[in-house]
A and B are shown apart, each in its own frame.
Chain A
Amino acid sequence: MSEITSKTANETPAARSKGARPVQLGVIGTFLARQGILVAFALFMIGFTIANERFLDPDNIMGVIRSSAILGVMALGVTFVVISGNLDLSVGSMMSFATIVVLDLHDKLGPALAIPSMYAMVLCLGAFIGFLVGYLRLNSLIVTLGMLSAIHGLTLTYSGGKNMDIADKEGTWFDVFGQSAVLGIPVPILLFALLASGLGIMLAKTPFGRKVYAVGGNGTAATFSGIRRARVVFTCYLISAFCVATAGLIQASRSLGSQNTVGQGLELEVLAAVILGGASLMGGAGTIFKTVIGVLILGFIQNGLLLVGLQFYAQYVVTWIIIILAVWLDIAAKRGKLWSPIA
């Protein structure tokens, strides 16, 4: 699968010449070309460890992965949408919505009913977006940008502008999703890992996964192969909504209360992680594994910069530089050269 995807992602002369002479790359070269982002990740980890020896402290690593789990779970769903050739900018607002709804219903219906109700409501939103993009063939950027603000408005209306808090924080089992641990591993990480494995297998090994690549890589060809594109796109948005609902669940459970702007701005961080992982905005390329690496890179950059104690004004700039460096290393490794002007 990955051979096909890397070709569709890089229809440049450089990529084609690389594809024509794969033997000359050698074992290390091939590894670099396929896992450039992993090499970049390793380099940053080494750099931050030199800057502050506590960076590799197991507690710190566990903490960063736990914090990244919320963003990560959302990125898994968005990976499907992006590979199918679309965008989802509504995930931040939708996550706020999920968090606020589940917290509100927790006190009204009890956690056992609140969770499925919240999932149902968020899946309805996902289905609505999927319907607009898949069946009415509206541009996904416009649809989800609109939904970003519409769902934000919905959340504000629902909450009446108030922060949502669970009244009885001590006497509920609802905190298991965000605060407890199984065999020493925090549950958010377990949920993230579980979803990543499940969705990773779905994307790489099942007929549905191959259809997602086909729809994003070459829609016309997909249609001629008898793939019902609308249904695939619709399902991708449902998967994204499911992931967002899970992220909202973890978020709500982690702090048992929330502002109604909790997910604001996350859509861009999610997208950054997905692209950092090498998924193509044109569709047809990307893997769940690499998205996970992208999420971890973002998480560790933010944590590393904090530990180094960099002035926060500089952190925004440095974050951006590191992202560009990572993408460049990845692309350069794939092309087999650092310098490649648009010809």
Chain B
Amino acid sequence: MTSKFRRVLATGVASACLFAGAAYADTMKIGITQNNVGVDSYQTTYERAFIAAAEANPDVETVVLDAGGDVARQIAQMEDLIQQEVDAIIIWPTNGEAVIPAVRKAHNADIPVIVTNSNIAEQGFDFIKSFSGPDNITQGSRAAEIMCDKFKDMGIDGEAQIVQISGQPGYTTAIERAKGFEDRLPEVCPDVTLVETQPGDWNREKSQRVMEAFLVKYDDIDGVYSGDDNMGVGALNAAKAAGRDGIIFVGATNFAVGYEAMERGEYWGSIYQSPVDDAEAALQTAIDVLNGEDVPFLNYFDTPKITHDNMAEFSKPVF
């Protein structure tokens, strides 16, 4: 064999390596399997924002999948993504427990997994790099602060009575928001009493019915905390129909209907959670993990307080 051939071979291998290296550094292939796009505007907007953010970044190539709310399909999608040898997988779990074996499989194949929006169960934590999403406990405690501050302004923080309409029983988001609210309220406003909590199941009509019963049962209601704005607006409708003015409504996940009611001055405050921020945070977390940066295990994106006073700083939610 001539040295010439050897030299050609060496150059070839070297350039191939260089090329591959450059390609690796240039594009990362990130796969995402979402929960159920199309079922609500939050998830629809999330997907659009995710694709837009990925397209804006020339280093990122994505495989965007949707499980349609079906655990079995999501597990199959995880396996597909592992087969395709993507560099990282983002998962919006359809079920916090059932997807763990599939997540472990990806972990064993050395593919980092990032969970987005709602976390998986704790026994799966060893197999994921990071959770990117909203901090529902903080959302609950911030809602308590919004409510308390308003009562102090009105001078009724020494006697106010409130009711709570929570999300669907059994949902982590519902439980965490209620816990954050109930823990924080006595710290900031010890003399405000939470007289009763009933679930509104994330449903506007159901909350309206629950609120109607509250209004019959209690002559004096100063505030209503609801697990999201959709339910809050249901409660507001009930109060308006009964002619009970002056009730302070505070919610979470600011929806367009909540934003509009806030503009009219009927609804006091909420927590601004943007699906766009949610999607961008998930993609950024995956990129940071791939770049070897130090990413906190619970990587929360900020969900600020929004009230009638500061709402001009926020654009109206699209959902």
User: Which A residues have a C-beta under 8 Å from some C-beta of B?
Assistant: 52, 54, 57, 59-60, 63, 67, 70, 156-157, 160-163, 165, 169, 179, 251, 254-255, 257-262, 302-303, 306-307, 309, 312-313
12 contacts between A and B (CB under 8 A): A54-B216, A63-B212, A63-B213, A63-B242, A67-B208, A67-B209, A156-B39, A255-B204, A255-B208, A259-B203, A261-B203, A303-B209
Q: Is the CB of A258 within 8 A of B204?
A: yes
Cα distance, A46 to B5, chains bound together (Å)? 101
B37 contacts A by Cβ under 8 Å = yes
Q: Is the CB of A160 within 8 A of B217?
A: no
Stretch at the interface among B40-48, B150-158, B293-301: B40-48
Cα distance, A165 to B208, chains bound together (Å)? 17
Cβ of B149 to closest chain A Cβ, rounded Å = 28
Cα distance, A179 to B213, chains bound together (Å)? 18
Find chain B residues with CB under 8 A from A179 CB.
241
Cβ of A301 to closest chain B Cβ, rounded Å = 12
Q: Is the CB of B213 within 8 A of A306?
A: yes
B169 contacts A by Cβ under 8 Å = yes
Return the chain A residue nearest B218 by Cβ: A54
Cα distance, A63 to B239, chains bound together (Å)? 12
Known: A160-B44, A162-B41, A262-B203. A63 touches B216 (CB 8 A): yes
Cβ of B46 to closest chain A Cβ, rounded Å = 10
Q: Is the CB of B40 within 8 A of A161?
A: yes
Query: Interface on chain A toward B: helix, strand, loop, or mixed SS?
Result: helix
Cβ contact of B212, chosen from A67, A162, A255, cutoff 8 A: A67
Cβ of A49 to closest chain B Cβ, rounded Å = 13
Cα distance, A268 to B319, chains bound together (Å)? 29
Q: Tell me the B162-218 residues at the A interface (CB within 8 Å).
A: 169, 196, 198-199, 203-205, 208-210, 212-214, 216-217
Cα distance, A108 to B41, chains bound together (Å)? 20
Return the chain A residue nearest B196 by Cβ: A309
Cα distance, A255 to B230, chains bound together (Å)? 11
Cα distance, A45 to B242, chains bound together (Å)? 23
Find chain A residues with CB under 8 A from B234 CB.
255
Q: Is the CB of B205 within 8 A of A161?
A: no
Scoring B41, B199, B213, B242 by chain A CB atoms within 10 A of each residue's CB, the highest score goes to B213
Q: Is the CB of B40 within 8 A of A165?
A: no
Cβ of A35 to closest chain B Cβ, rounded Å = 28
Cα distance, A161 to B43, chains bound together (Å)? 8
Cβ of A230 to closest chain B Cβ, rounded Å = 36
Q: Is the CB of B44 within 8 A of A161?
A: yes
Cβ contact of A307, chosen from B216, B233, B242, cutoff 8 A: B216
Cβ contact of A262, chosen from B205, B210, B255, cutoff 8 A: B205
Known: A255-B234, A259-B203, A312-B169. A302 touches B209 (CB 8 A): yes
Known: A162-B40, A165-B256. 15 other contacts (CB 8 A): A54-B217, A60-B216, A63-B216, A63-B242, A156-B39, A160-B44, A161-B37, A161-B43, A179-B241, A254-B208, A255-B233, A257-B204, A258-B204, A262-B203, A306-B198
